[in-house]
């Protein structure tokens, strides 16, 4: 049993906010001695129960709300019920079993990310309570989703904040011996679920890649920070005359090339390994122009302390990429930084476009796909923004 301090905002928790910060909890000697991942009863200042939480006393987010029902038993059956609800949504949305199956707090499993690749599920247990229940979670996944393989990916930054290890593991079945082909938006992507970035593929950009593909028909396309060919391969499926993918990772670009070959578009696809800023500058010096340019960088502002530097980086991306767009062409600028909300991100992009001497129409604002639902009480769950400009 743990309790909120007198000045903590119990009302926000009752209204659905899923986190309790360390400075809001009475962290006495007894509470600090509880093992990370302990499931505890949370009470307000007046000792009225608020629900069950997963506790990590040493973390800034000291407790994560699991269930308002104080009589719930947090175990395999409870996990199976949450997974069943999450799976029902995805099966309604997608015909093929390739999607984000669990999007953490928004799916009632705080700190847990699960991406599905056919009969393989990749789990990122980024909270101590989930790490403590990994065997039960893997068993529930096999039973509910019918997957054969369950892999633990321990590469997330969030795990270190919870004091967790960085050791990947096979929780059920076996790890695929080769990258998994994923058909999406008419393109074929190769997902390295064991050695790739994050879980191997970013499903969140699916609707934004589809929108960009509509603009790509008959155009030369440049995709910067391409990873395994995200926007470039979708553009080729949409009828682009050619696509150039730029990334700093040679293995990611090799997977992009394999995907292009599998979809019969190898002759229209090229890659360029290098730093994105240096490559954008070089392409400008070379006089290159494209009908569609996409820049989808990593999170330049992963937290509030990095916001100002992150906004300068987004502005620089816009300033360097805008001159590469043909007159009347299109520029797609993306951010996955939850600390940079839509307003400030848009402002940074417009400053960069303006400083490049270009004028822009904002055609479309995109967000993550519906397999990445937003928990309205938690702004961090709505991290992705994609702005589509006509220059």
* Catalytic pick among 295, 334, 336, 349: 336
Q: Which residue has the tokens 């080729």?
A: 236
Name the token pair of 348: 């940074």
DSSP label at residue 295: E
Name the token pair of 201: 């593929």
Q: What is the DSSP string of 180-247?
A: EEEEETTEEEEE-TTTSSTTSS--TTHHHHHHHHHHHTT-EEEEES-TTTHHHHHHHHTT-SEEEEEE
DSSP label at residue 266: G
Q: Give the other-Cβ count within 10 Å of 343's Cβ.
A: 9
Count Cα atoms within 13 angstroms, Cβ side, for 370: 8
Neighbour-count burial of 168, counting CB atoms closer than 10 A to its CB (0-12 exposed, 13-18 middle, 19+ buried): middle
Are residues 228 and 249 in contact, defined by beta-carbon separation less than 8 angstroms?
no
Are residues 180 and 190 in contact, defined by beta-carbon separation less than 8 angstroms?
yes
Which of 47, 79, 48 is closest to 66 using CA atoms? 79
CA 250/CA 267 separation, integer angstroms:
19
**336 catalytically annotated:** yes
Residues forming the active site: 336
């Amino acid at each position: 049993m743990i309790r909120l301090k007198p000045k903590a905002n119990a009302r926000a928790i009752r209204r659905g906010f899923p986190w309790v910060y360390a400075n809001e909890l009475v962290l006495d000697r007894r509470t600090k001695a509880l093992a990370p991942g302990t499931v505890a009863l949370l009470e307000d200042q007046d000792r009225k129960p608020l629900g069950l939480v997963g506790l990590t006393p040493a973390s800034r987010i000291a407790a994560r709300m699991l269930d308002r029902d104080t009589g719930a038993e947090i175990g395999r059956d409870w996990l199976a019920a949450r997974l069943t609800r999450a799976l029902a949504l995805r099966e309604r949305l997608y015909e093929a079993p390739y999607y984000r199956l669990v999007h953490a707090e928004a799916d009632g499993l705080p700190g847990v990310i699960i991406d599905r690749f056919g009969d393989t599920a990749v789990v990122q247990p980024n909270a101590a309570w989930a790490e403590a229940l990994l065997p039960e979670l893997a068993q529930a996944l096999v039973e509910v989703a019918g997957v054969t393989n369950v892999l633990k990916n321990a590469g997330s930054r969030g795990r270190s904040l919870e004091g967790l290890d960085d050791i990947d593991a096979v929780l059920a079945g076996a790890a695929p011996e080769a990258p998994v082909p994923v058909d999406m938006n008419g393109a074929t992507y190769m997902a390295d679920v064991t050695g790739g970035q994050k879980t191997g593929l970013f499903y969140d950009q699916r609707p934004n890649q589809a929108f960009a593909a509509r603009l790509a028909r008959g155009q030369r396309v440049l995709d910067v920070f391409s990873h395994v060919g995200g926007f470039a391969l979708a553009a080729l499926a949409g009828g682009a005359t050619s696509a150039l993918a730029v990334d700093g990772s040679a293995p990611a670009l090799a997977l992009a090339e394999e995907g292009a070959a599998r979809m019969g578009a190898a002759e229209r696809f090229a890659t360029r390994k290098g730093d994105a800023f240096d490559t954008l500058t070089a392409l400008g010096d070379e006089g290159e122009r494209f009908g569609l340019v996409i820049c989808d960088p990593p999170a330049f502002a992963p937290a509030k302390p990095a916001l100002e530097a992150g906004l300068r980086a987004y502005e620089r991306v816009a300033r360097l990429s805008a001159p590469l767009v043909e007159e009347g062409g299109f520029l797609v600028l993306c951010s996955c930084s939850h600390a940079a909300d839509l307003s400030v991100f848009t402002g940074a992009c417009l400053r960069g476009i303006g400083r490049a001497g270009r004028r822009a129409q904002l055609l479309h604002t995109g967000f993550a796909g519906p397999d990445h639902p937003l928990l309205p009480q938690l702004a961090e769950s709505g991290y992705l923004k994609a702005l589509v400009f006509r220059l």
